[in-house]
Each structure stands twice: as C-alpha cells, then as structure tokens.
Structure 1
Amino acid sequence: MGETKKKFKLGLIPKLIIAIILGILVGSYLPEMVTKIAVTISANFGKFLNFIIPLMIIAFVTKGIADLSEGAGKLLLVTVLLAYISTLIGGSLSFFMAKTIFPSFLDPSMVEQIQSATEKNLTAIFEIPLEPIIDVTSALVLAFLLGLCVSILRQTGSGDGFYKLINEFNEIINMVLSKAIIPLLPLFIFGNFTNMAYSGSVFAILQIFIKIFVCIIILHILYISAMFIVAGAYTGKNPFKAIKNAFPAYLTAVGTQSSAATIPVNVECNRKIGVSKQIREFVIPLCATVHLPGSMITLTACVYTLLEMYQMPHGFGLIIQFIAILGIAMVAAPGAPGGAVMSALPFLPVVGIATDSPLASILITLYITQDSFGTAANVTGDNAISMMVEKIYYKHIVKRPIPTED
C-alpha cells in the first residue's frame, strides 16, 4: 500500500541512439521542409550551446583550481603535459599506421571522386543572433588566472568573497546544464544527423574512403583502450569497467561533434569511474580543450592520404613538426564541430599544402565527414587522463590519500 510505482525513465544512451536513427530516417525519406525545421532547431540550440560553453569552462575550471588548497599550478602543469604527450603519441601512431597500410589501396583517381562529391547541407530557416560573450581560449586563460589567484589568496586567509561567487556561479551553470543542455542534447543530435542524411555527401565520401576511415576508427579504439589499460595499471582501477562507464560520453560526442558540448556527460562518466569530485571537475573541462589524440589521429591520417595521393613529400620528420605545432594550435578547437581541421589550415604549408588550395578543401571534407569519431576518442581519453592525474596529484603533489566522498 505504501509502495510507490517507479516511473520509467529513458536513459541518455537510448535517447541518443533514437535521435541518431530518427535523424537518418527523417533526412533520408521525409520532405526537405521537415529537415529544414530540424536543422533550424539544431542550429539555434547550437547557438545557445556555443554561448554556454565559455561560461561552462570558466565555472568548472576556475572552481576546480580555486578548490585546490595547494599544488594548483603543479596540477595544471601535469594535466596539460599529459594531454600534450598523449596528443603527440596519437598523431605519431597515425602516421606509422598510414605509412604501413594506406599505400596498398590509395589511388590518385580518388581525388577526382572527392572533388565531385556534392555538398547539399541545408541551412537553418533563421538563426538567433546569439554570440558567446567571450571565446573559448580567452575563457580558458581567464579561468586559469582567476582559479590560481583565488587558490593562492585562500592560502593566505583572504579571497573568501570571490570564492563564494565562483561557487554560486558554478551552481548556476550546473543548473543550466541539468535543466536545459542535457535534456535537449538528443534534439541537437537529431538535427545534425537529419542534415547529414539529407545531403548524402557524407555517405558518398564514406563509401570512397571506407578503408581509410575503418583504419582510423580502429586506431582510435586501440589507442584509447591502451590509455585506459595504462591508467588502470597505474591507478589500480579496472580499465574495462572504466571504458564501459565512459561509453555514454563517446556516444554523446559522436552526435554533438563537440568535446565542450560533451563536458557535462563526461563529468558524470568520470564520477562513475570513481575519480574524486575536485579532480574530475577540473580535469574534464580542461582536457575538453587541450587533449586531442582522436582529432590528431584523424587529421594526420587525412593529411598523409592527400600527400600520398598527390605524391608529395611525407616523411616522419616533416609530419612530426606538423603534429607538434597542431598539438598547441588546436587547443580549444574541438569545442566546435570541425574546429580542429579549421585550426590546422594556417599550418598546412608546413607539409607543403597551400591554405587556399583545392587540397585544403578536400582535407576539410575528408576530416569533417568523420570528425565526430575523433571528437569521441578525445573525450573518452579524457577519463583516462583524469584517472592518472588524480593519482599523481594525491600521491606526489599533496601527498595524502585520495578522498573517498562522491
């Protein structure tokens, strides 16, 4: 009699899968106007998302650093260093994979096929003129400065007023995420997949380059798995259980094509993995902007593909320069779909490709076709970085046990 019926609640993963399937069906079979409406909703939600993302970075990263009573600067250095090393390793592995496998099935005639692939993506009927009040890179730098300064002030017995403000701002952003962003993410993903299915160009290019994409995605999976195995061996956590708990973030990133948009889901995944609140709320938002192995694997493979097809120089010495520069230049780029490849354009002359050449436009097409998988690898790997950072911070920097509270 006193029992209450449990209300059935559909989880995030089923909602995302349903959104993807419906998007493909609607884009493929329903009239153009239906797709345009879906694209309009998605585009305007994307505007709102882009407005929130810098505020999210400031709220999470500032609080994460400010909460550290000691070793804030060292924690920041360790996280960024691990993320950069991981990005360099990912790019280097991609080069050796491409050099070993790609020449066996690359054909110069593919160039003509790519160029003839039509881009028919629909645009929104209207877009709200909503722009972020600060760009992501500026937000990241501001968060570093505020967090480090407040952390130092708190150690001297002051800064409590500003710390309280940071806490309340963090609560406001968390409320926006839980009440608006996460519930509407499936709608955003639905619009993206509707447009991709309608254009057909994405699937056309995938048919041409399916072998390359399969190689890239397999390397993503192998590399991220290796990261979790290393992190698990170092921290004592079960790597396979950690991968399972990180899967919702992977799926979300496939749909949103944005590391930053996946932050709230990824923070929750990191909680389930067992990383302490202080570390996960600092490392996950930070890594969403600085940890790019998936994007680097994809970009390196795509660049190698073009250089091989056009019979241009593509030795490791040349490619590693490109990878090292991009590891820094692409910071904050994964916040926007296709951001990594757009950040790479000014540096293409390093490998002999002019920024305004047809090769650059082919590179953009190749990359954006499966950008979502690179982004998904980025955010999934952030969890492994977070596991390692937690152990390093508590064992070597502050030298005390890892807190067990949620």
Structure 2
Amino acid sequence: MTKKPLTSHLLVRVLLGIVLGIACGLFFPEPLARVFLTFNGLFSGFLGFIVPLLILGLVTPAIADLGRGAGKWLGITAGIAYASTVFSGVLAYLVARGTYPWLLGGQQDVNPLANPEESALTGYFALEMEPVFGVMTALLLSFCLGVGITLIPGDTLHRTMDDLRRIIMRIVELVIIPLLPVYIFGMFMSLTMNGQIVTVISTFFKIVVLALVLTIVLLLVQYGIAGAYARRNPLVLLKNMLPAYVTALGTSSSAATIPVTLKSAEANGVSKPVAGFVVPLCATIHLAGSTMKIVLFSLAIMTITGMPIDNLTYLGFILMLGVTMVAAPGVPGGAIMAAVGVLQSMLGFDETAIGLMIATYIAIDSFGTATNVTGDGAIAVVMDKLVGRRGDVAEVAAEQDDAQVVVSGR
C-alpha cells in the first residue's frame, strides 16, 4: 500500500499556508499580492453562495434520517448527544466570558481583523455571487423539508435530498477543501502586509492553549457524570478510552476511529449490541469537542474586534450550532464548514473572521475529533446502564439497522 505524502494532509497544507502567507507578506510586491487577494475575493464569494445550499443539502436529509429511523433508543441517544454538545458550548461560553477580559484585555477594540476591502490592499476585481437564498431561509427550509419527509409516504423527495447531499459533499471535497490552503495563504499574507499579524497570532495562540485545556475538562465532566450514573470509576473509564483518543489524533476522523472506539467502549464493559449501536451513531451526531472550539474561537474574534456579545443571542447560536453539527460533513474541517452559515447569519462574521475561524479550527482539528470520539464512550456507558436497567438489549440490537440509516452517506 502506497503511503500518502505528508503534504496530502489538510492540516499540513493549512499550516504551510499560514507560514508561507506570513513569510511572503514580508516581501511580496503589491501587484503579486493583489493576485492572491483577487482569488480570496472570488473564493469568499463562492463560499457565500454555496453555504445556504450546503445547509439545505446536509441538514434536510440529516433531520429526515433521524425522523425515519426514530426508534426509542435512537431518539434517547440523539437527545443525550445533543445535550452533551450544547453543554460543551455553554461551558466554553462561560469560561470565555470569565477569562477573555483579562486574557485578551490588552488586545480588545484594536480591530486586528479590519475588513480587507477597507485596507489599502485589495484585489484587481470582484464578482457578485448572490446566493439562491439566505442562510436563515436555508435553515428554516431544511427544518420544514426534513420534518415533512418523515410525515409523508414515499421516498422520492428523500432520495432527491440524498442526491443533493452527495453533490454538496463532492463540491466540499473536490473544490472547497483543496483550495482552503490557498485562501488561508492569501488571508495571512494580507494580514502581514497590513501590519495586523502580530496581534492575530498572539491572540489565537492563547485561545488554542485554552481550548486544549478545556477539552480535557470537558472529558472529565462527561466521564464524571457517566461514572456517577453507572457507578464506575470515571478515571478508569477514561483510561480505557485512551486508544480511541490517540487514534483520532492521528486520523482526524471520527468515522475512521470507529473500530478502535468500539473496542475501547467494550473494554469499559459496554455490551456489544449497545456499543455497536451507540458508537457509529455518535460518530455522526456527537461533536461536543468541535462545538467547544467554535465557541471559543468565535468569542475571541468578537472580543478583540469589539463586537457586541448578547447572552440570549449567543445562547441561540449555541442551540442552533448543536443542530448544525449533526449535519457536519464527514471530511476534515467539515464541522467548521457546516457552521459558517450560522456564524455569518447569527453573529455577523465577515470574510476575514470566517477565514481565521477556518484556519485556527483546522490547525487543532484532530484534538476536537479526539474529544468527540472519547465523549462517545461516555454516552455508550450511560446508554448501556440505561438499557441494562430496562432489559432492552435485544431491542437496541434491532435498532442498529435504523441507526445505519443516519450514519449512511456521511
């Protein structure tokens, strides 16, 4: 089997884009720099065009799949996964609100993310790429169609939305993901040439460290709750999940880590039917670690740029983000791509803010994935205890086929 070159990994290419963007920003002549800024403007416009379609193509079939396969245990597992994701977002929000005033105190209101269109350096031309409809329209339409598909006989519309999902996934995999490093290169080159890079790097280094620490806290909380409910030692449960955590660090993929996650969950005493049901399902719908990173990074941007932060509005953002994460495409960086629309529509993020969100998210994507899959083990422990108390192991085994409907195509 041929080993893929190191530069084929998205993380490596993104990091190269950041480093080269900063280095080239120190000596690139303005005419050459404007070539990359022109590309960035076109890429950003296409991203704005495709995001509503991405939401429609991913959220609609995800809701429809959950509804069609809505057995009792599937619904309970999905509910626990959503509650865990929202808890992760709220925890990150509370920590950020408590620490950012002093952690980022010296960098507030300096607006290091000034709109590139307002800077001296701009692209040669721009093309208008109006989206078919707005992000909120796409979200509402997705909910209506997704729920509606579960209420009507026949599967014509369901199969149509599945086809749309596959088309959108191909666009993400073949166009957006390969071009992201070039986009990030141009963005960091522009930040360097505009004298904003020092503030940006120092700010996000602090947030990356905070995110890594907070993911460990999240896992301790998840396993503390699971251990208390199952009357097991949470540290032993967490230790048995280390193989899954380490594997996810290397793969950056919840799906690719499923075999190891299954073995780790079974090592914690979870029955095979429950593990075989919960682990593949949660690999698709439980993204607590990803949600935590998005909340931390978005609040950092809002803090240093002086954007108003309203508690109720941001809580709504977290609740909506939890739903959007269910539809996140199964590719590296898929969660942040699915969240772009909500960041723009609910928090008002512009092109540069979205670019920084994507870059910093992908830079530590593997840690978010590792947190996601390790948290799946905690849910498996809770579900095993819950199912064991009710004596419905056979029923859970029967629902595995329904769960495959949700996992398929992701």
Q: Same fold (TM over 0.5)?
A: yes
Cα distance change, pair 288–75 in 1 and its aligned pair in 2 (3 A): same
Q: Deviations over 1:173-192 (max 9, x none)?
A: 22222222222222222221
Contact (CA 8 Å) 1:80, 1:290: kept in 2 or not?
A: no
Q: Give the SS at the match of 1:219.
A: helix
Q: Which runs of 5+ in 2 are unaligned?
A: 227-236, 262-278, 322-337
Aligned length: 335
1:42: Cα distance to partner?
A: 1.8
TM-superposition CA deviations, 1:89-123 (whole Å, max 9, x none)? 21222233357x55xx967xx889x4899974622
What per-residue deviation string (whole Å, max 9, x for no partner) do you get for residues 344-364 of structure 1?
A: 9xxxxxxxxxxxxxxxxxxx9
Distance 1:373 1:12, change over 3 A: closer
Instruction: Name whichever of 162-171 and 83-92 sits farther off.
Output: 83-92
1:294 aligned partner: 296
Indicate how the Cα distance of structure 1 residues 232 and 189 shifts in structure 2: closer, same or farther if over 3 A, else same.
farther
Q: Indicate the residue corresponding to 2:191 in structure 1.
A: 196
CA distance in 1, matches of 2:37, 2:125: 10
The answer to whether residue 166 in structure 2 is matched with residue 171 in structure 1 is: yes
The answer to whether the 8 A contact 2:46-2:129 is kept is yes
1:126 matched to which residue of 2?
Answer: 125
1:181 partner amino acid: I
Question: What is the alpha-carbon root mean square deviation over aligned residues?
Answer: 4.9
Counterpart position of 1:225: 216
Aligned-residue offset at 1:214: 5.2
Distance (Å, rounded) in 1 between the aligned partners of 2:290 and 2:317: 14
Cα–Cα, structure 1 residues 287 and 64, in superposed 2: closer, same or farther, change >3 Å? farther
Distance 1:96 1:178, change over 3 A: closer
Equivalent residue number for residue 61 of structure 1: 59
Q: Per-residue displacement from partner, 1:14-46 (whole Å, max 9, x unpaired)?
A: 222222222122222110111111111122112
Say whether 1:245 aligns with 2:262: no
Retained in 2: the 8 A contact 1:75–1:389? no
Q: In structure 2, give the amino acid aligned to 1:173.
A: I
Counterparts of 2:15 and 2:191 in 1: how far apart (Å)?
16
CA distance in structure 2 between the aligned counterparts of 1:116 and 1:298, rounded to whole angstroms? 12
Cα drift, residue 240 of structure 1: 7.2
Tell which has more relative contact order, 1 or 2 (C-alpha 8 A, sep 6+).
2
1:180 to 175, 180, 184: 175
Given the superposition, is the C-alpha separation of residues 383 and 78 from structure 1 closer, same or farther in structure 2, using an over 3 Å criterion?
farther
Q: In structure 1, what is the equivalent of residue 331 of structure 2?
A: none
Is residue 289–residue 371 contact of structure 2 (8 Å, CA) maintained in 1?
no
- Shift of the 197–178 alpha-carbon distance from structure 1 to 2, 3 Å rule, reads same
User: What does the per-residue CA deviation read over 1:135-162, in whole Å, with 9 as the maximum and x for residues that have no partner?
Assistant: 2232222222222221343xxxx23111
Does the CA-based 8 Å contact 2:56-2:138 persist in structure 1?
yes
Q: 226-235 or 169-178, which moves further after superposition?
A: 226-235
Deviation readout 1:227-265 (Å, 9 max, x if unpaired): 34555775977357437636887xxxxxxxxxxxxxxxx
Deviations, residues 279-312 of structure 1 (Å, cap 9, x unaligned): 555566x998998431465268659xx8xxxxxx
Which residue of 9, 12, 23 maps to 1:11? 9
Alignment partner, residue 272 of structure 1: 256
d(CA) in 2 for partners of 1:23 and 1:273? Answer: 33
Q: Which runs of 5+ in 1 are unaligned?
A: 250-268, 307-318, 345-363
Residue 32 (structure 1) aligned with residue 30 (structure 2):
yes
1:400 counterpart letter in structure 2: V
Shift of 1:277: 6.3
Change over 3 Å in CA distance of 1:20–1:173 after alignment to 2: same
Q: Is the 8 A contact 2:100 2:303 kept in 1?
A: yes
Q: Cα 1:149–1:394, aligned 2, differ >3 Å: closer, same or farther? A: farther
Report 1:6-405 matches (<5 A).
10-68=8-66, 69-70=69-70, 80-98=82-100, 114=110, 120=119, 122-153=121-152, 158-203=153-198, 205-206=199-200, 210=202, 215-230=206-221, 238=241, 241-242=244-245, 245=248, 269-274=253-258, 280=283, 292-295=294-297, 297-298=299-300, 302=304, 322-329=310-317, 331=320, 335=340, 339=344, 342-343=347-348, 381=368, 384=371, 391=379, 400-401=396-397
Rounded to whole Å, the distance in 2 between the matches of 1:137 and 1:116 is 28
Please state how far the C-alpha of 1:400 moved relative to its aligned partner.
1.9
Query: Residue 168 of structure 1: SS of its match in structure 2?
Result: helix
- Indicate how the Cα distance of structure 1 residues 273 and 131 shifts in structure 2: closer, same or farther if over 3 A, else same: farther
Partner SS state of residue 26, structure 2? helix
Against the structure 1 CA distance between its residues 291 and 132, is the aligned structure 2 distance closer, same or farther, given a 3 Å change threshold?
farther
What residue in structure 2 maps to residue 253 of structure 1?
Answer: none
The aligned amino acid for 1:221 is: L
- Could you tell me how far apart the structure 1 residues matched to 2:99 and 2:145 are? 42
Inter-CA distance 232–177: structure 2 relative to 1 (3 Å threshold): farther
Find the residue that maps to 2:256 and give its secondary structure: helix
Contact 2:38-2:122 at 8 Å conserved across structures: yes
